[in-house]
Amino acid sequence: NFIRMFFSEISQNAFSVISRLSGAEYVLEGDPEAVLLARLIASGLVALAFVIQTEGLALDHAAAAVASNYLVTLMSLAIKLIAAAGVKESEAFQILRPLVNGTLTNIETAGIPEALTGPIARGDCKTVADHMTGIQKLGTDVLLLYKTLGRATVQIARDKGTLSADAAREILHLLG
């Protein structure tokens, strides 16, 4: 009985682990034989596998950190801003969630430049200035993050083709 229970527990745990691994995406790196074996395992898990060079590991990990960890940071910033506007912090995520989900859908279907909306994409300098006036009250670290993200957004808006060179210069001047 003990042996039957032991193997039953192992198989349940293995099934749980395999179900979490199934459908995931894996980055593979290493010697060709190991990569081939890993591709076969990923295929058996109905998972996607991507091969990168060893020297790309740090950038791959940085990409994952930006996409996951920094999204948490961005949501923290957005919740802080909407809470400062008077929304209960406990309700902030539910209010912002449809916007975030829509943006992710737009990125998936239309691509990065086309998914960009908002004042920078429109060249709306007054709204950007108004944002900064309001954010200034929350502290320099919040304003610095807004400005840094805004400067990066200017190039995306230029790539989209909705931001003129003159408006881009004016917004970059505003953002410091």
pLDDT tens per residue across span 81-122: 999 999 999 999 999 999 999 999 999 999 999 999 999 999
Q: Rounded to two decimals, what is the model's pTM?
A: 0.77
Output the furthest CA–CA distance in the chain (Å, rounded).
78
User: How many CB atoms lie under 10 A from the CB of residue 121?
Assistant: 20
pLDDT tens per residue across span 123-138: 999 999 999 999 999 9
What would you report as the CA-atom Rg of the chain, rounded to the nearest whole angstrom?
A: 23
SS3 135: helix
| Residue 26, pLDDT score | 76
Whether 11 has a pLDDT exceeding 60, the answer reads: no
